[in-house]
Chain A
């Protein structure tokens, strides 16, 4: 696999003072481009046993008595490389707050209720076409103290392994037409407007299930190009 330089503006600004925590944590030196065979050629093996079928439904977590509270949604999409080739059998992890805007995490002090039937964690493998699908509830916005009136737009965290190490990505999926976009420094740390827009899922009436849940599509493109020489 081959890795082109990422065009300027596509990745977020590592030091973006509006997002305060970046100021002392974002590296200042440019990245070192280097040749290293293993990160672009060797697969990180994710055994199929890592994922159980129930782990794609966050609304009925294992060990909980009932069903999660909130607006039920399904999120689906394709994971591909830069040439549109599917990223197959790759581990995707998602985590999010509940419908009231609170994470099940010991450090989340937001004064909103925890849902006893919602953990906010899911995992799945992409299929032969690079497709994934999971059911959850729409996460709520929540305050985070970065600035006056700071509320995060509703979002779901995604961790993607890709098929090789250098494709690794952690990102966030947002929801269409969120009024908080213009005020969120994490979303706006990405300089390029089109690249920001690619983080926003699309409402899908096709994926919507009658009297059950609303559908959203979110396609993900990981770095790397097919390295097969032409003519083979």
Chain B
């Protein structure tokens, strides 16, 4: 099968467009390039109320991942964030202790199934980026969260802290592994 691959690719040009391009790791050297390109780490300009979600990203040993890139997307916030580089979009690297923090717009008219943000995770050693989402633990029930097996829903819940912020940790592997999505 391996030896046929070059023939396959040259003989099936009419079908090539239906074959998706696979992913590869972002590697450890994206930070300067992405910061130059879309600096979404700066303070957020928004006309909507906001919440802060902060946490730590861990590997399967519980070691913080200090070279991850996280993106958070809140599509219904685009109008409130018209001044942002990409409205409704955040992009931040994890810190030296694996820590991250998003300030997210919470427009009152968000759809019932909307999470606080859709989140994408990239890192060295992660050959395919992972899609997940974060929900506030005191928000109304979400039909999207209801699709997640009950015993794993807690991995997507950001828990309200005494100071009013929310705490959400990401575990890439093992006990309490965060639920990662594929969309239909």
Q: In the complex the two chains form, is A44's CB within 8 Å of B86's CB?
A: yes
Judge whether B101 is part of the interface by a CB distance below 8 angstroms. no
Q: In the complex the two chains form, is B73's CB within 8 Å of A165's CB?
A: yes
Residues on the A chain within 8 Å of B122, using CB: 170
> Of the candidates A12, A24, A105, A199, which one forms a contact with B29 in the assembled complex, judged by CB atoms under 8 Å apart?
A105
> Of the candidates B36, B85, B149, which one forms a contact with A121 in the assembled complex, judged by CB atoms under 8 Å apart?
B36
Q: In the complex the two chains form, is A222's CB within 8 Å of B21's CB?
A: yes
Q: In the complex the two chains form, is B78's CB within 8 Å of A36's CB?
A: no
Q: In the complex the two chains form, is A32's CB within 8 Å of B181's CB?
A: yes
Residues on the A chain within 8 Å of B125, using CB: 19-26
Judge whether A65 is part of the interface by a CB distance below 8 angstroms. no
**In angstroms, how far is the closest chain A Cβ from the Cβ of B75?**
4
Judge whether A133 is part of the interface by a CB distance below 8 angstroms. no
Judge whether B129 is part of the interface by a CB distance below 8 angstroms. yes
User: Do most interface residues of chain A lie in helix, strand or loop, or is the interface mixed?
Assistant: loop
Give the total number of A-B pairs whose CB atoms are below 8 A apart: 237
Residue tally, chain A, CB below 8 Å to B: 82
A4-36 to B contact mask, C-beta < 8 Å, 1/0: 011000111110100111111111110111111
Residues on the A chain within 8 Å of B184, using CB: 2-3, 33-35, 40
Q: In the complex the two chains form, is A168's CB within 8 Å of B129's CB?
A: yes
Q: How far is the CA of A168 from the CA of B128 in the complex (A)?
A: 11
Judge whether A50 is part of the interface by a CB distance below 8 angstroms. yes
Residues on the A chain within 8 Å of B73, using CB: 44, 165
Residues on the B chain within 8 Å of A83, using CB: 17-18
**In angstroms, how far is the closest chain B Cβ from the Cβ of A48?**
12
A30-59 to B contact mask, C-beta < 8 Å, 1/0: 011111111110101111001000000000
